[in-house]
Amino acid sequence: MSYSGRKVQRLRQLVWETYPPFCCYCSTALTWNTYTVEHLLPRSKGGSDAIENLRPSCGRCNYSRGNRTIIRKRNENATGFFKR
C-alpha cells in the first residue's frame, strides 16, 4: 500500500498535534522540518496508521530501526539505541 502526498501530510499533522515534539527513542527535540512519523509496529508487520501506532521520531532513529519491531531492535543492539 503506498502513501499519497495528502495522506502523508495528514499523518504528519496528526502526529505533530497529538504528541510532544521529541523523538520517541532518543528524546531529541524535533521541529516540523526535522521529524519523521514512526510506526511502532511496522506496516510490513501488520501495523496500522492508527494514531496509537504512530510516534514522532528523529530520522536517525527511525531509519536505523528500519522495519524491525522495537523488541527485536533492542535485542540486536542493546548498547546505545535506546540510551542517550
Is 57 inside a domain boundary? no
Q: Which pLDDT value is given to residue 78?
A: 44
Is 52 inside a domain boundary? no
Where residue 22 falls among pLDDT bands split at 50, 70, 90?
Answer: very high
Is 72 inside a domain boundary? no
Is 69 inside a domain boundary? no
Where residue 5 falls among pLDDT bands split at 50, 70, 90?
Answer: confident
Here the cell at position 81 is: 539505541
The set of residues, in sequence order, having a beta carbon less than 8 Å from that of 61 and lying 6+ positions away, is 23, 24, 25, 26, 28, 38, 81
Burial class (CB in 10 A: 0-12, 13-18, 19+), 41: middle
* pTM score of the predicted model: 0.72
Is 70 inside a domain boundary? no
Number of domains, the chain: 1
Is 78 inside a domain boundary? no
Q: Which pLDDT value is given to residue 70?
A: 66
Is 4 inside a domain boundary? yes
From its phi and psi, is residue 46 left (phi > 0), alpha (psi between -120 and 50) or beta? left
Is 13 inside a domain boundary? yes
Where residue 34 falls among pLDDT bands split at 50, 70, 90?
Answer: very high
Q: Which domain holds residue 18?
A: 1-43
Q: For residue range 38-82, what is the model confidence (pLDDT) as tens digits?
A: 999 988 889 999 999 999 999 999 888 777 776 544 444 444 444
Segment 22-35 shows an average pLDDT of: 94
